[in-house]
Amino acid sequence: MSQFKFSVGPWNVHAGADSYGPPTRQEIDFDTKLAKFAELGFSAIQFHDDDAVPNINDYTEEQIKEKARELKKKLDKYGLAAEFVAPRLWMDEHSIDGGFMSTSAEDREYAMWRAYRSIDIARELDCDMIVLWLAREGTLCAESKSPVWATRQLIEAINKMLAYDPKIRVCIEPKPNEPIDRSICGTMGHVMAISAATIDPSRVGGNLESAHAILAGLDPAHEIGFALAMGKLMTVHLNDQNGIRYDQDKTFGVENLRAAFNQVKVLKENGYGSHGEYVGLDVKAMRTTTDEDCYKHLENSLKIFRALEKKVDRFDYDFQKKCVETRDFEALEMYVMNLLMGID
Ligand code: XUL
Ligand code: MN
């Protein structure tokens, strides 16, 4: 029996538009996605604040909570939990130059408003986690802001969130670049340092996305392991990425099966999920994918994860131990290759 439960965000099923071309598939409405996510075996949904409450700017704080309560009823109908709420601090005109570390005081205030509203929504959805993907937090022009000031702004914003709600946990999803040029919090190491500098480090952790680690030139399994060692891996965004180029959000495991195997292995060996953590996916269908196949990348990611979980179950730890004792890493490496290729 698998120890894992899976989560997904509504943006994982999208119409295929990119920076260079218009949509290639029909938009699918939110309720249809929810029903399909439940049918595919997902247990929880990841939300941006405006996935949960579209047009959030148009409502009062009370109206936003009311809308969130309506959404909760919908989730209950499908037996789905809410995993997290993430303030979307990159689409609004107030977030052109970032959110918490924007150079405009008015825009920083707007970013805090979105962060507080995300917390309000989370509480109504019976969830205690806010994810911060810090899309535009950094510089496009290196001399435009001080990295010292910007880092302190982030710590101050997180402290305000922790003070606003004594139960809320803040989970930073690091990414080294895109859409920003130089990010302020690019890796899990940065996240751990920020956590330690806040007023309650036990409530500040990380969300490791495989593609983001690869974009930083790092190994996703080691980034996961680092956060696990600190007791601060709050969730993951599994996917895949072909080297250092635009963020691809490919189906989990399709570019580097061995790296994917090691992500499943480190999660499984360390009892990930035993405190209610979900295995989150953050995957995108290709632009060429048809309407009929628009959930295939999710189905395939789940299939690959589960197949790799079986490989981890079969992993021969006695043989590994022997190889380590004799330092026969050639044999250990070939053993892993054979395991993955299905050669006994
Ligand atoms: C962007 C990314 C986001 C976050 C959620 O690279 O991964 O989708 O996961 O805001
Ligand atoms: Mn992500």
Q: What is the pLDDT of residue 2?
A: 80
In one letter, which amino acid is 125? L
Q: Which residues line ligand 1 (CB under 6 A)?
A: 48, 86, 133, 173, 175, 209, 237, 247, 282
What domains does the chain contain, in order, with CATH numbers? 6-314 (3.20.20.150)
Tell me which H or E stretch contains 86: strand 81-86
**Residues 107-131, mean pLDDT to the nearest whole number:** 98
Q: pLDDT, tens digit, for every residue of 333-342?
A: 999 999 999 9
Ligand 1 pocket test: which of 18, 170, 209 has the largest number of ligand atoms within 8 Å of its C-beta?
Answer: 209
Q: Is 76 exposed, middle or buried (0-12, 13-18, 19+ CB in 10 A)?
A: exposed
Lookup result for tokens 């495991």: 253
Threshold 0.95, pTM exceeds: yes
- Distance from chain centroid for Cα 198: 21
**Residues 277-297, mean pLDDT to the nearest whole number:** 98
Ligand 1 pocket test: which of 131, 185, 282, 284 has the largest number of ligand atoms within 8 Å of its C-beta?
Answer: 282
Q: Tell me which residue has its CA closest to atom 8 in ligand 1.
A: 282
* Cα torsion angle, 216, 219, 224, 229, sign: negative
**Residues 286-304, mean pLDDT to the nearest whole number:** 98
Q: Point out the ligand nearest to the CA of residue 175.
A: 1
Query: DSSP string spanning 227-283?
Result: HHHTT-EEEEEE-B--SSSS---BPTTSS-HHHHHHHHHHHHHTTTTTTS--EEE--
Query: DSSP string spanning 94-105?
Result: GGTT-STT-S-H
What is the rounded distance in angstroms from the CA atom of residue 217 to the CA atom of residue 50?
Answer: 32
C-alpha of residue 133 to centroid of ligand 1, in Å: 6
Provide the 8-state DSSP code for 19: T
Q: Which atom, in ligand 1's list, is nearest to the CA of 88?
A: 10
Could you give phi then psi for residue 244, rounded to 5 degrees? -90, 90
C-alpha of residue 131 to centroid of ligand 2, in Å: 9
Q: How many CB atoms lie within 10 A of CB 132?
A: 29
**Residues 193-212, mean pLDDT to the nearest whole number:** 98
**105-124 vs 147-164: helix crossing angle, rounded to 10:** 30
Structure tokens at 314: 């079969």
**Residues 104-117, mean pLDDT to the nearest whole number:** 98
Q: Which of 12, 234, 11, 13 is nearest to 127 (CA)?
A: 234
Q: pLDDT, tens digit, for every residue of 21-51?
A: 999 999 999 999 999 999 999 999 999 999 9
Q: Which atom, in ligand 1's list, is nearest to the CA of 247?
A: 6
Q: Tell me which residue has its CA closest to atom 10 in ligand 1.
A: 133
C-alpha of residue 249 to centroid of ligand 1, in Å: 9
Q: Which atom, in ligand 1's list, is nearest to the CA of 135?
A: 1
What is the rounded distance in angstroms from the CA atom of residue 105 to the CA atom of residue 147?
Answer: 17
